[in-house]
Amino acid sequence: MPRRSPKRRSGSEDGPIKPRLSIAIPLHGAGRWIDGVIDTTSKAPSWSRVVISDASRLDDTADRLADHFREDARVSVICPTGITGWVAHANLLLEQADTEPFCWMPQDDLISPPDYFELLAEALDRNPDRVLAFPSACRRVRRGWLRSRELEPAPYRRLRSRWGRSRQTWRQ
């Protein structure tokens, strides 16, 4: 299936590309993972928006990332104040999203292949009734090699208690 070309903001043909994907990277003492965050952010498509947020300010990672991505219009680095806890930080990042497709990228995750975000967006485009996309699973095999395997779609099923009744019935 051909890739959908990014749409431009209304008004100007030469204007900035309207984001189709929001990528949120929450930071918490992320100094040791800064190279991975830079690599992940650099792989984000031109039609995406990346919001990097450091609510804890345990180190100077946010400042270093803001300096590194100063010229990249896709990337915003924010340091909110008054945010306590992961849930409040996650909610703040969700509020920053300006697209329906949304991607969490933990600070310590590395992505591969380079077109990771495009693959996820294409999977959602091909399946408009789906709300979640993630890559195939990798598992460790002998001597540190990783082998990738495709996952089959998991059918929805009702959870059962150990007495054989559905959880909804059991809780009533």
DSSP states of 82-95: S--SHHHHHHHHHH
Domain extent, residue 47, equals: 21-128
- Name the one residue in this structure whose structure tokens are 């150990």: 162
Question: Is the model more confident about 163 or about 72?
Answer: 72
Tell me if 93 sits within 8 A of 26, measured CB to CB. yes
Supply the pLDDT for residue 37.
Answer: 94
The torsion region of residue 169 among left (phi > 0), alpha (psi -120 to 50) and beta comes to alpha
List the CATH number of the domain containing 51: 3.90.550.10
In a domain, residue 78? The reply is yes
The answer to the question of residue 157 being in a domain is no
Please give the mean pLDDT across all residues of the chain: 76
Give CA–CA dist 97/51, Å, rounded: 8
41 domain-assigned: yes
pLDDT tier at 154 (50, 70, 90 boundaries)? very low
pLDDT of the residue at 149: 52
Q: What is the number of other CB atoms lying within 10 angstroms of the CB of residue 108?
A: 11
Q: Is residue 172 part of a domain?
A: no
pLDDT at 114: 83
Q: Is the pLDDT of residue 119 over 70?
A: yes
Q: What is the pLDDT of residue 140?
A: 44
Whether 144 is in a domain gets the answer no
Q: Do 47 and 19 meet the contact criterion of CB atoms below 8 Å apart?
A: yes
Q: Identify whether 134 is part of a domain.
A: no
pLDDT at 71: 95
Better pLDDT: 63 or 130: 63
In this prediction, residue 18 carries a pLDDT of: 86
CB neighbours (10 Å) of residue 113?
Answer: 9
In a domain, 112, yes or no: yes
Range ranked top by mean pLDDT from 12-26, 35-49, 122-136: 35-49
Q: Are 36 and 107 in contact (CB under 8 A)?
A: yes
Q: Which pLDDT score is estimated for 34? A: 93
| Mean pLDDT within 28-56 | 93
**How many structural domains comprise the chain?**
1
Helix (H, G, I), strand (E, B) or coil at 105: coil
- State yes or no: pLDDT of 162 exceeds 50: no
Give φ, ψ of 102 to 5 degrees. -135, 140
Residue 49, in any domain of the structure: yes
pLDDT of residue 39 exceeding 90: yes
Distance CA 135, CA 83 (A): 31
